Amino acid sequence: MAGVMADFGNFTHAVVRAIPSSLAKEALRMNVSDVDLEKAQREHEVYVGVLKQKLGLEVIELPADESLPDCVFVEDAAVVCGDTALITRPGAESRRKETAAMQRALKELGLNIVEMSDENATLDGGDVLFTGREFFVGLSKRTNQRGAEILADAFKDYAVSTVPVTDGLHLKSFCSMGGPGLIVIGSSEPAQKALKIMQQMSDHRYDKLTVPDDIAANTIYMNLPGKGHVLLHCTPEEFPESAKVSAHTHTHTHTHTHTYR
């Protein structure tokens, strides 16, 4: 039997949630700018299509909830690793109920559900970076120490290190995993600083892929049974400079569009 802690394992399922129309007006926002709801919904459809058709994942689509304008960002509602799913307690009060649907969906998948019941704890999945060997949890506006502790309790096999996130919303606002042992990182000062901290805190060595745009560092890496290593990243049109970097570095990368968000 293979080890329990085998890096990323294989990706088989994807959970997404439709975009509520309330997103445009009521969703929480870092900056004040209009959201093109229709464009967002188009992009989302493409995204889901890629997951289903191109990648062959079993996609579980949760219906949108108008009362939860941010519910499309399913990443924040849960952290799944191995056979355990930690249902988070989102830092934004308005998002707390997003977890209910997620919890049901994950439970149906047979995962062991761990709930974050401590009222002093907050955790957004966007602050959780799983490298395959350990967790980094950004301590941000949305995630606090207690939330990180609970995550550490939920995934006892792994080291959980905290990284201060002073700028930006989440830790993963400027970084993500680009593959086993590879961290894709934005080039902003806060991003680079955070990377330094992560490198210092880790017993493992990571390669880094620095992309010019912080937002372009938001990628999705997955290991698919039939397709090998796959990286979802933003379109070249969106971040032309960053796309070059990715293309050159990743030979076996399937370029897909990940525009939503």
Partner 1 sequence: MTTEVGSETEVKKEPEKAEEQPAAPEPPATNQTDEAKAEEAAEQSNESPALATDSAEAPTEAKENQEEAQPADNATGQEGEDPPASPPASEKKGISRFLPPWLKRQKSQSAVGPKESQVTPKEEGGVVLVKEEGEKAEQAEAEQTSLTTAAEPQVEEEQVKGEENKETEEGGEEKKDQEERLKPEGGHYFIKSPLKLTKKVKMVMCHVTMLDGSQFPCEVEKRAKGQYLFFKVCEALNLLEKDYFGLSYKDNADQMCWLDPTKEIKRQISNASWQLAFNVKFYPPDPSQLTEDITRYLLCLQLRQDIASGCLPCSFVTHSLLGSYSLQAELGDHDPDEQRLDYISDFQFAPSQTKEMEEKVVELHKTHRGMTPAQADTQFLENAKKLSMYGVDLHHAKDSEGVDIMLGVCANGLLIYKDRLRINRFAWPKILKISYKRSNFYIKIRPGETEQFESTVGFKLPNHRSAKRVWKVCVENHTFFRLMTPEAPTKAKFLTLGSKFRYSGRTQAQTRQASTLIDRPAPYFERTSSKRISRSLDGGSHLWALGNFISFFMYFSQMRLHFLIPQSGKLRVQGENIYVRHSNLMLEDLEKTQEDVLKHQASTSELKRSFMEATPETRPSQWEKRVQETVVVEEIRVAPKGSVTITTPEVVVAVETEVEKPKEEVIEEVKEEVEAQKRSVSVSSDSHSESEEEAGEYHPQVTVSASVDQIKEEPEKEEAKDHEEPDQVAEPVAEPESLPEVEVDAMPSPAVVEETPVAEPETALVAEEKEEEEEEEQPRVNGDVSHAETERIPQVICCSEPPVVKTEMVTISDTFAAQKTEIATKEVPIVHTETKTITYEAAQLDGSGDGEPGILMTAQTITSESLCTTTTTHITKTLKGGLSETRIEKRIVITGDSDIDHDQALAQAIKEAKEQHPDMSVTRVVVHKETELAEEGED
Which residues make up the interface to partner 1 (CB under 8 A)? Answer: 1, 3-5, 82-84, 112, 133-134, 137, 145, 148-149, 152-153, 155-162, 200-203
State the nearest-atom distance from the C-beta of 78 to partner 1, in Å.
17
Please, what is the minimum distance in Å from the beta carbon of residue 116 to partner 1?
A: 14
Give the count of beta carbons closer than 10 Å to the beta carbon of residue 32: 5
CB of 7 to partner 1, least distance (A): 10
Min separation Cβ 2 and partner 1, Å? 10
Say if residues 77 and 98 touch (Cβ distance below 8 Å).
Answer: yes
Which residue lies nearer to partner 1 by CB, 4 or 30? Answer: 4
Output 160 or 243, the one with its CB closest to partner 1: 160
Which CB atom, from 2 or from 32, has the smaller least distance to partner 1? Answer: 2
Residue with smaller CB distance to partner 1, 63 or 110: 110
Long-range contacts for 185-191 (Cβ within 8 Å, ≥24 apart)?
A: 185/209, 185/210, 185/211, 185/217, 186/210, 186/211, 186/212, 186/213, 186/214, 186/215, 186/216, 186/217, 187/211, 187/212, 187/213, 187/214, 188/214, 190/165, 190/166, 191/217
Name the burial class of residue 22, with classes exposed (0-12), middle (13-18) and buried (19+) by CB atoms within 10 angstroms of its CB: middle
Nearer to partner 1, 3 or 110 (CB): 3
C-beta atoms surrounding 108 within 10 Å: 9
In DSSP terms, which residues pair with 59 in a beta bridge?
A: 14
Nearest distance in Å: CB 152, partner 1 = 4
At its nearest, how many Å lie between partner 1 and the CB of residue 142? 17
Q: Which helix (H) or strand (E) holds 129?
A: strand 128-130
Q: Name the minimum Å distance from CB 156 to partner 1.
A: 4
Closest to 126 (Cα-Cα) out of 161, 97, 90, 98: 90
- Closer to partner 1 by CB, 108 or 203: give it: 203
Nearer to partner 1, 188 or 246 (CB): 188
**Residue 215 carries which DSSP code?**
G
Phi-psi region of 253 (alpha: psi -120 to 50; beta: other; left: phi over 0): beta
